[in-house]
Amino acid sequence: MRKGEVLKLGIVPYMEGKEIQLKAFERVKKGETDGILILLQHPPVYTIGVSGGFDENILVPLEELMKKAELYKVERGGKITFHGPGQIVAYPIFNLAKWQKDVHLFVYKLEETIIKLLEEYGIKAGRKPKYTGVWVGDEKICAIGIAVRRWITWHGIAFNVNTELSYFGLINACGITEFGVTSMQKLGINEDIEKVKEKMVDKFSEVFGIHFNEITLDRLAVIDNAKA
Protein backbone atom coordinates (compact mmCIF):
# COMPACT_ATOMS: atom_id res chain seq x y z
CA MET A 1 0.00 0.00 0.00
CA ARG A 2 1.44 3.36 -1.05
CA LYS A 3 1.56 6.11 1.55
CA GLY A 4 0.14 9.53 0.93
CA GLU A 5 -1.34 12.60 2.56
CA VAL A 6 -4.68 14.35 2.14
CA LEU A 7 -5.33 18.04 2.64
CA LYS A 8 -8.99 19.05 2.98
CA LEU A 9 -9.67 22.75 2.58
CA GLY A 10 -12.67 25.01 2.18
CA ILE A 11 -13.09 27.73 -0.45
CA VAL A 12 -9.64 28.80 -1.63
CA PRO A 13 -8.86 31.49 -4.27
CA TYR A 14 -7.60 29.91 -7.46
CA MET A 15 -4.04 31.28 -7.41
CA GLU A 16 -3.65 30.44 -3.74
CA GLY A 17 -4.71 26.89 -4.60
CA LYS A 18 -2.03 26.79 -7.26
CA GLU A 19 0.63 27.80 -4.74
CA ILE A 20 -0.53 25.02 -2.42
CA GLN A 21 -0.21 22.56 -5.29
CA LEU A 22 3.35 23.70 -5.95
CA LYS A 23 4.32 23.22 -2.29
CA ALA A 24 2.83 19.74 -2.38
CA PHE A 25 4.62 19.06 -5.66
CA GLU A 26 7.99 19.84 -4.08
CA ARG A 27 7.28 17.52 -1.16
CA VAL A 28 6.38 14.67 -3.51
CA LYS A 29 9.38 15.40 -5.75
CA LYS A 30 11.70 15.08 -2.76
CA GLY A 31 10.30 11.61 -2.09
CA GLU A 32 8.82 12.50 1.28
CA THR A 33 5.48 10.98 0.33
CA ASP A 34 4.10 9.04 -2.64
CA GLY A 35 1.30 11.50 -3.23
CA ILE A 36 -0.72 14.36 -1.77
CA LEU A 37 -4.44 14.72 -2.48
CA ILE A 38 -5.74 18.27 -2.12
CA LEU A 39 -9.51 18.75 -1.91
CA LEU A 40 -11.05 22.22 -2.01
CA GLN A 41 -13.53 24.56 -3.66
CA HIS A 42 -12.77 27.75 -5.54
CA PRO A 43 -14.65 31.05 -5.76
CA PRO A 44 -16.14 31.47 -9.26
CA VAL A 45 -13.33 31.19 -11.80
CA TYR A 46 -12.90 30.18 -15.44
CA THR A 47 -9.67 28.48 -16.41
CA ILE A 48 -8.30 27.86 -19.89
CA GLY A 49 -5.97 24.93 -20.50
CA VAL A 50 -3.15 24.51 -23.00
CA SER A 51 -5.50 23.32 -25.76
CA GLY A 52 -6.70 26.91 -26.08
CA GLY A 53 -9.89 27.55 -28.05
CA PHE A 54 -10.40 30.78 -26.13
CA ASP A 55 -12.37 32.86 -28.62
CA GLU A 56 -14.69 30.18 -30.00
CA ASN A 57 -15.63 28.75 -26.59
CA ILE A 58 -16.67 31.95 -24.80
CA LEU A 59 -20.31 32.66 -25.65
CA VAL A 60 -20.57 36.20 -24.26
CA PRO A 61 -18.34 39.28 -24.51
CA LEU A 62 -15.18 38.88 -22.44
CA GLU A 63 -16.10 41.84 -20.24
CA GLU A 64 -19.38 40.18 -19.31
CA LEU A 65 -17.65 36.89 -18.53
CA MET A 66 -15.13 38.58 -16.25
CA LYS A 67 -17.91 40.31 -14.32
CA LYS A 68 -19.14 36.84 -13.37
CA ALA A 69 -15.84 35.23 -12.42
CA GLU A 70 -12.06 35.47 -12.56
CA LEU A 71 -10.25 34.13 -15.64
CA TYR A 72 -6.86 32.42 -15.84
CA LYS A 73 -4.78 30.56 -18.40
CA VAL A 74 -3.29 27.48 -16.77
CA GLU A 75 -0.88 24.61 -17.43
CA ARG A 76 -3.34 21.73 -17.46
CA GLY A 77 -4.57 19.98 -20.57
CA GLY A 78 -7.95 20.79 -22.06
CA LYS A 79 -9.84 23.96 -22.90
CA ILE A 80 -12.06 26.27 -20.86
CA THR A 81 -14.01 25.17 -17.81
CA PHE A 82 -15.60 26.64 -14.70
CA HIS A 83 -14.87 26.16 -10.99
CA GLY A 84 -17.02 27.47 -8.19
CA PRO A 85 -18.63 26.78 -4.81
CA GLY A 86 -20.46 23.48 -4.67
CA GLN A 87 -17.85 21.82 -6.86
CA ILE A 88 -15.14 19.61 -5.37
CA VAL A 89 -11.83 20.31 -7.03
CA ALA A 90 -9.39 17.48 -6.36
CA TYR A 91 -5.71 17.99 -7.05
CA PRO A 92 -3.84 14.65 -6.87
CA ILE A 93 -0.13 15.42 -6.68
CA PHE A 94 1.05 11.86 -7.30
CA ASN A 95 4.45 10.45 -8.26
CA LEU A 96 3.53 8.13 -11.12
CA ALA A 97 6.87 6.33 -10.70
CA LYS A 98 5.22 4.77 -7.63
CA TRP A 99 2.44 3.41 -9.85
CA GLN A 100 3.06 3.27 -13.59
CA LYS A 101 4.52 5.92 -15.84
CA ASP A 102 1.36 5.97 -17.90
CA VAL A 103 -0.63 9.20 -18.12
CA HIS A 104 -3.56 7.57 -19.93
CA LEU A 105 -3.86 4.98 -17.15
CA PHE A 106 -3.75 7.75 -14.56
CA VAL A 107 -6.63 9.58 -16.24
CA TYR A 108 -8.56 6.31 -16.51
CA LYS A 109 -8.13 5.79 -12.76
CA LEU A 110 -9.33 9.32 -12.03
CA GLU A 111 -12.47 8.57 -14.01
CA GLU A 112 -12.86 5.24 -12.22
CA THR A 113 -12.62 6.98 -8.84
CA ILE A 114 -15.59 9.21 -9.65
CA ILE A 115 -17.60 6.41 -11.29
CA LYS A 116 -17.23 4.39 -8.08
CA LEU A 117 -18.10 7.42 -5.97
CA LEU A 118 -21.33 7.94 -7.89
CA GLU A 119 -22.22 4.26 -7.47
CA GLU A 120 -22.41 5.00 -3.73
CA TYR A 121 -25.32 7.32 -4.51
CA GLY A 122 -27.07 5.01 -6.96
CA ILE A 123 -25.95 7.04 -9.99
CA LYS A 124 -24.80 5.08 -13.01
CA ALA A 125 -21.97 7.01 -14.64
CA GLY A 126 -19.41 6.17 -17.28
CA ARG A 127 -17.05 7.35 -19.97
CA LYS A 128 -17.76 8.81 -23.38
CA PRO A 129 -15.63 8.06 -26.46
CA LYS A 130 -13.43 10.97 -27.55
CA TYR A 131 -13.93 12.89 -24.31
CA THR A 132 -12.22 12.64 -20.94
CA GLY A 133 -14.21 13.00 -17.75
CA VAL A 134 -17.17 11.25 -16.20
CA TRP A 135 -20.61 11.34 -17.75
CA VAL A 136 -24.17 10.61 -16.72
CA GLY A 137 -25.91 10.01 -20.01
CA ASP A 138 -25.01 12.93 -22.26
CA GLU A 139 -24.10 15.31 -19.45
CA LYS A 140 -20.69 15.67 -17.86
CA ILE A 141 -20.54 15.61 -14.08
CA CYS A 142 -16.76 15.58 -13.68
CA ALA A 143 -14.14 17.32 -15.81
CA ILE A 144 -10.49 16.28 -15.88
CA GLY A 145 -7.49 18.39 -16.79
CA ILE A 146 -4.02 17.45 -15.61
CA ALA A 147 -0.40 18.41 -16.04
CA VAL A 148 2.60 16.15 -15.52
CA ARG A 149 6.17 17.20 -14.77
CA ARG A 150 8.94 14.67 -14.04
CA TRP A 151 6.19 12.04 -13.78
CA ILE A 152 4.54 13.96 -10.96
CA THR A 153 0.96 15.02 -11.60
CA TRP A 154 -0.79 18.26 -10.72
CA HIS A 155 -4.05 20.02 -11.52
CA GLY A 156 -6.80 17.39 -11.55
CA ILE A 157 -10.58 17.01 -11.50
CA ALA A 158 -13.68 19.13 -10.94
CA PHE A 159 -16.72 17.26 -9.64
CA ASN A 160 -20.10 18.97 -9.53
CA VAL A 161 -21.96 18.37 -6.28
CA ASN A 162 -24.31 21.36 -6.05
CA THR A 163 -22.52 23.79 -8.34
CA GLU A 164 -24.40 26.74 -9.83
CA LEU A 165 -24.57 25.36 -13.36
CA SER A 166 -25.64 28.63 -15.01
CA TYR A 167 -21.96 29.64 -15.17
CA PHE A 168 -21.42 26.86 -17.70
CA GLY A 169 -24.00 28.47 -19.94
CA LEU A 170 -21.56 31.26 -20.77
CA ILE A 171 -18.98 28.89 -22.28
CA ASN A 172 -18.57 25.72 -24.29
CA ALA A 173 -17.27 23.76 -21.34
CA CYS A 174 -14.15 21.79 -22.35
CA GLY A 175 -14.85 22.95 -25.91
CA ILE A 176 -17.84 20.60 -26.17
CA THR A 177 -20.92 21.94 -27.92
CA GLU A 178 -23.12 18.87 -28.36
CA PHE A 179 -23.44 17.75 -24.71
CA GLY A 180 -24.35 19.38 -21.42
CA VAL A 181 -23.25 19.55 -17.80
CA THR A 182 -24.87 18.10 -14.69
CA SER A 183 -24.38 17.82 -10.93
CA MET A 184 -25.44 15.52 -8.12
CA GLN A 185 -28.04 18.10 -7.13
CA LYS A 186 -29.47 18.23 -10.65
CA LEU A 187 -29.71 14.43 -10.54
CA GLY A 188 -31.79 14.64 -7.37
CA ILE A 189 -29.05 13.94 -4.80
CA ASN A 190 -28.76 16.58 -2.09
CA GLU A 191 -25.70 15.67 -0.05
CA ASP A 192 -23.43 17.69 2.20
CA ILE A 193 -20.28 18.44 0.25
CA GLU A 194 -18.02 17.50 3.16
CA LYS A 195 -19.55 14.02 3.23
CA VAL A 196 -18.93 13.69 -0.51
CA LYS A 197 -15.30 14.67 0.10
CA GLU A 198 -14.91 11.88 2.64
CA LYS A 199 -16.30 9.32 0.21
CA MET A 200 -14.06 10.67 -2.54
CA VAL A 201 -10.97 10.14 -0.39
CA ASP A 202 -12.06 6.54 0.24
CA LYS A 203 -12.46 5.94 -3.50
CA PHE A 204 -9.07 7.48 -4.29
CA SER A 205 -7.57 5.15 -1.70
CA GLU A 206 -9.35 2.14 -3.20
CA VAL A 207 -8.60 2.83 -6.86
CA PHE A 208 -5.00 4.00 -6.43
CA GLY A 209 -4.04 1.64 -3.61
CA ILE A 210 -2.86 4.43 -1.34
CA HIS A 211 -3.35 5.07 2.37
CA PHE A 212 -3.81 8.73 3.26
CA ASN A 213 -2.86 10.51 6.47
CA GLU A 214 -4.64 13.82 6.85
CA ILE A 215 -2.47 16.92 7.18
CA THR A 216 -3.28 20.59 7.65
CA LEU A 217 -2.23 23.53 5.54
CA ASP A 218 -0.12 24.78 8.44
CA ARG A 219 1.62 21.42 8.56
CA LEU A 220 2.36 21.56 4.84
CA ALA A 221 3.83 25.04 5.30
CA VAL A 222 6.01 23.89 8.21
CA ILE A 223 7.32 20.96 6.17
CA ASP A 224 7.92 23.21 3.18
CA ASN A 225 9.82 25.82 5.21
CA ALA A 226 11.89 23.20 7.01
CA LYS A 227 13.05 21.73 3.71
CA ALA A 228 13.76 25.08 2.01
- Choice among 142, 174, 193, 220 that is catalytic: 174
Let me know if 142 is a catalytic residue: no
Query: Strands 131-136, 126-128: parallel, antiparallel or unpaired by DSSP?
Result: antiparallel
Residue 123: burial class (beta carbons within 10 Å; 0-12, 13-18, 19+): middle
Q: Which residues contact 70 (CB under 8 A, 6 or more apart)?
A: 14, 43, 44, 45, 46
Instruction: Tell me how crowded residue 50 is: count the other CB atoms within 10 A of its CB.
Output: 13
Beta strands in 112-204 (DSSP E): 126-128, 131-136, 139-149, 152-160, 180-181
- Which positions are catalytic? 174
